[in-house]
Amino acid sequence: MGLNIVEKIDRMVPINHVLISVSDKSGLEQFIPELIKIVPDIKIISTGGTYQTIKTLLGTKADQYLILISDYTGQPETQGGLVKTLDFKIYLGLLTETYNDHHQNDLKRTQASPIDMVVVNLYPFSKTIENKNVTVEQARGNIDIGGPCMIRASAKNFLRVASVVDPSDYSDILDEMRQNNGCTTLKKRFQLAQKAFGHTHQYDANIYEYLRKQSFDAVSTCYQS
């Protein structure tokens, strides 16, 4: 099966569905209410702790805007949040192309929605390993899997999706949406994709450097056989 070659896109994409799952929750208290002001019928899909934070921010309005990711996918989160975002409906929503009839049929078949913006930052691996007493197991537990996958999928599809990894970008994104009737521009989505791939590149590099420096003895002493 050959690659999809995209020839037609919308340079301006309205933000109707946003997926938010962040370790760093700073800035959400300004970002979420402003998103809703700009797009009054927006839907926010969210996970675990992020869901609870946004629910608290929205108060009585939460049910109008907020969807728990397990309710959206139909699959409950596994113990400890091991699997919560690695779901066909999520990645269909991130990777579909607007003018690809096959993609649109898949969305209808699965009752999935195109996701127009992903706001994700990752488990604090670097912060975890700053502790000199951290064990390999503690470090391993802070390796994010779903987050990098969502970032990469949304950044790959910058033709349609805004991939947001840095809370310092919230203000600029909101300004652009205000100026463009709730839409993001192709230029902004491309800039965000550049930053997103840099973010996952550095994240993986930090994991590689940490594991490279560990002895097998340090690994084996963490576990019982």
Band of pLDDT at residue 116, cut at 50, 70 and 90? very high
For the chain, the average pLDDT equals: 93
Task: Give tens-digit pLDDT for 119-168.
Answer: 999 877 888 899 989 999 999 988 999 999 999 999 999 999 999 999 99
Strands 12-14, 17-22: pairing kind: unpaired
User: Which CATH number does 13-220 carry?
Assistant: 3.40.50.1380
Task: Give tens-digit pLDDT for 163-190.
Answer: 999 999 999 999 999 999 999 999 999 9
